[in-house]
């Protein structure tokens, strides 16, 4: 029996400093530009620069994917997804703060 070769995983690490064009964001998230524009209009993601030269941070990829998951799995509309993401991010901030406070007491 031949040993299996480990699968190679490739990709770019995206963070707040990373910048993507509208086209790159569409490809990274598998969504058409119209849907990305709707997310901008709803305030879910915020581009930098003029509309013809929008640049999106790498964090936008995470937010767009969360919206897609909420829509697909729960049937949430864009406005509902905006609220859900805001609440989920607040929970993450509170959990991180709690972890910092608890680690300071140990």
pLDDT digits (tens, 9 = 90+) for 1-38: 555 655 543 455 665 667 899 999 999 999 999 999 99
DSSP 56: E
The CATH number for 52's domain is: 1.10.1660.10
Give domain status of residue 11, yes or no.
no
5 belongs to a structural domain: no
Summarised one tens digit per residue, pLDDT across range 68-105 is 999 999 999 999 999 999 999 999 999 999 999 999 86
Please check whether residue 23 lies inside any domain of the structure. yes
Q: In this structure, is residue 71 part of a structural domain? A: yes
Place of tokens 């799995």: 73
Place of tokens 């993450």: 92
Residue 34 located in a structural domain:
yes
Q: How far out from the chain centre does Cα 60 lie?
A: 4
In a domain, 9, yes or no: no
Over residues 58-71, the pLDDT tens digits come to: 889 989 999 999 99
Contact 78, 38 (CB under 8 A): yes
What CA–CA distances, in Å, run from 41 to 5, 22, 83, 91? 46, 14, 14, 24
Tally of domains in the chain: 1
Residues spanned by the domain of 50 = 19-105
Q: Is residue 4 part of a domain?
A: no
Q: Note whether residue 8 is domain-resident.
A: no
């Amino acid at each position: 029996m031949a040993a299996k070769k480990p699968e190679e995983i490739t990709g770019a690490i995206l963070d707040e400093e990373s910048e993507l064009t509208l086209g790159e964001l569409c490809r990274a998230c598998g969504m058409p530009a119209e849907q990305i524009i709707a997310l901008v209009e709803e305030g879910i993601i915020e581009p930098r620069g003029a509309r013809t030269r929008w640049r999106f941070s790498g964090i936008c990829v995470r937010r767009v994917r969360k919206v897609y998951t909420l829509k697909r799995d729960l049937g949430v509309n864009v406005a509902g997804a905006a609220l859900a993401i805001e609440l989920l991010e607040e929970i993450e901030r509170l959990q991180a703060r709690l972890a910092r406070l608890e680690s300071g007491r140990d």
